[in-house]
Homo-oligomer: A and B are copies of this chain.
Amino acid sequence: MTNQQIRVVQYGLGAIGTGVVRLASRKAGMRIVGCVDVNPDLIGKDAGEAAGLDQALGVPVLGSIEELARGGRDESADVAFHCTGSHLQEVHEQLVEIVRAGMNIVSTCEELSFPRRRNPQIAAQIDALAREHDVTVLGTGINPGFIMDTLPVALTAMCADVRKIRVSRIVDVGTRRRQLQAKVGTGMSVDEFQRRASTGRMGHIGLQESLLGIAEALGWPTDDLHHSLEPVIAHAPLQTEFFGIPAGHVAGLRERTWLEQDGEEVLALELQMRVGAPEPGDTIVLDGTPPVTVKVDGVQGDISTQAIVVNSARRVVEAPPGLATMMDIPPVSLAPTAAGA
């Protein structure tokens, strides 16, 4: 790997984006040279201040990539960390703008993780535009992007054959941020949960992307795809820092997506995100030759997503141009921390 400094633009200063700024500012060979957010309360502030750092970064938050380009600040930026939205439809234009400005992209947009199947047109357009501008666009994060897709696929390297794959992720959201607790329905009545679920406003974004990413990597057919989403009910009252959950109300959700072949389940991803989950952790079971079981403890979604974004920067700068997934690039690994940081 080269040791050249990576010049970073941060796009989006929400919970993940501010964490990315704080982490990137501590990394050796990485410098934040620009920052964009649409929030008027942040525009004009120093990016360090806006991200909750106790030192200024000397970089003002601007309202758009266009403004950044006008200031001439982005001219030599290598990569934009894009952390604004989960759906490709809503962030598509932002991605196009960044690519046109000549920057590589590492994005936490969940639907960008493995976009070729569910959003083929946008994926093809971004790929063509990225090639035209000689940059790489990568969607990543801990989930989707790594723990329920890239890691299981990478583990199949050890197998002579694999008949079935089962991946399970159990997250205790009780100690996590309010937004995440709200997202999984914490404290809702079951009726409210079901009403929202029926309009597609509940559930994790990216689980089907993970499933399709695995299937694509292994060449498995995806015709017989299934999905379920149900609330996890609190049997006794529960309390988090942000929500009270009466007994009988929702403590979180259990989402499942799976593929069948000849009526048999061959690939299943299950995600539980709930307050008070008894055994949080990640389990990957490869029913193959040899049979392999992997148990991962300690992954923390927000921190690990911020980490994987920052750690991906060098790979994305070095990758051939186009739209890439985590399965198209060499393994991302820890970026070194600056001395004294």
Taking Cβ atoms with an 8 Å cutoff, the residues of A that contact B are 23, 26, 142, 146-147, 150-151, 153-162, 217-219, 288-300, 303-304, 306-308, 310-312, 327-334, 336-337
Contacts and interface: CB of A to CB of B under 8 A. Distances in A.
B157 A218 contact: no
Most-contacted residue by chain B among A218, A299, A332, A337 (CB, 10 A): A299
B218 A161 contact: no
Contacts of A289: 303, 307
Given A218-B336, A334-B157, A290 B303 contact: yes
B295 A158 contact: no
B299 A334 contact: no
Nearest to A302: B290
B337 A307 contact: no
A25 B160 CA distance: 12
A217 B26 CA distance: 19
Contact of A293 (B151, B155, B288, B297): B297
Given A295-B295, A331-B327, A303 B337 contact: no
A328 B225 CA distance: 34
A219 B158 CA distance: 27
A160 B306 CA distance: 7
A159 B332 CA distance: 11
Contacts of A158: 142, 146-147, 299, 304, 307-308
A291 B300 CA distance: 9
B308 A161 contact: no
Contacts of A217: 333
Contacts of A331: 150, 153-154, 157, 327, 331
Given A161-B334, A330-B327, A156 B311 contact: yes
Contacts of A327: 330-331, 333
A308 B288 CA distance: 14
A140 B306 CA distance: 31
A326 B290 CA distance: 21
A155 B284 CA distance: 14
A315 to B, nearest CB: 9
Contacts of A146: 157-158
A118 to B, nearest CB: 20
Contacts of A290: 298-300, 303-304
Nearest to A154: B331
A157 to B, nearest CB: 4
